Amino acid sequence: MTAVFGHGRLRLYLLKLLADGPRHGYELIRLLEERFLGLYAPSAGTIYPRLQRLEGDGLVTHTAAGGRKVYEITDAGRAELRQRADELATLESDITASVQDLSALAGEIRSEVRGSVRDLKRELREATRQTRRTRWAPPASDPAPAPGPAASDDERLLAEFDRRLAAFGTEVGALVRARRFSDSQLRTAIRVLDGALDGLRRLLR
């Protein structure tokens, strides 16, 4: 079974809906739901990324009105729509057929849910890894033994570096835990840390 909205066809259909007049995202979802006689309503998570991509490609623009983004088709978008008129006609008849055929429609729903679930798992796995990496790890409780007098300059510097690194971790960790910071402050702090790490990586590799 070919997916009604596979291979960029939802994108094409969004463009078609916007050709009839400017709409905000939620209206687009309602219009799609109406087109499918209420049998299918795409989620916000399906619609917004596609609108953003359309905007990135210059086919739609948005204006903010009363806290809502209203999307509008551009001339480039209309040109694209004219160019793909045949494809759109096929899509319309496919939609009509899928509304008639409940089991094909359920297939669409199944594949959309499966796709979103797969994407979500990948995204959260990556986010978990990131969170683990940026989590504050306390320094080892026993400090590194002081280098002997015979230690070369290299080793002394290395030990000094280790001490500084441990002190840095302890101090920043203590600062963060000393009082409650707002989320944005912490997020900025994380970005600063990431930046520092990036700089060190570039220096030491």
Q: Which residues bind other proteins (CB under 8 A)?
A: 24-26, 37-41, 43-45, 48, 66-69, 101-103, 105-106, 109-110, 112-114, 116-117, 119-121, 124-125, 127-128, 131-132, 135-136, 138, 176, 180-181, 183, 186
Minimum CB–partner distance for residue 32 and other proteins (Å): 12
CA distance 61 to 52: 9
Measured in whole angstroms, the distance separating CA 97 from the mean position of its chain's CA atoms is 33
Nearer to other proteins, 25 or 77 (CB): 25
Minimum CB–partner distance for residue 174 and other proteins (Å): 13
Nearer to other proteins, 90 or 116 (CB): 116
Structural contact between residues 144 and 159, judged by C-beta atoms closer than 8 angstroms? yes
Distance from the first to the final alpha carbon of the chain: 51
Minimum CB–partner distance for residue 77 and other proteins (Å): 20
Nearer to other proteins, 179 or 205 (CB): 179
Nearest CA-CA partner of 96 in 42, 152, 36: 36
Q: Is 48 exposed, middle or buried (0-12, 13-18, 19+ CB in 10 A)?
A: middle
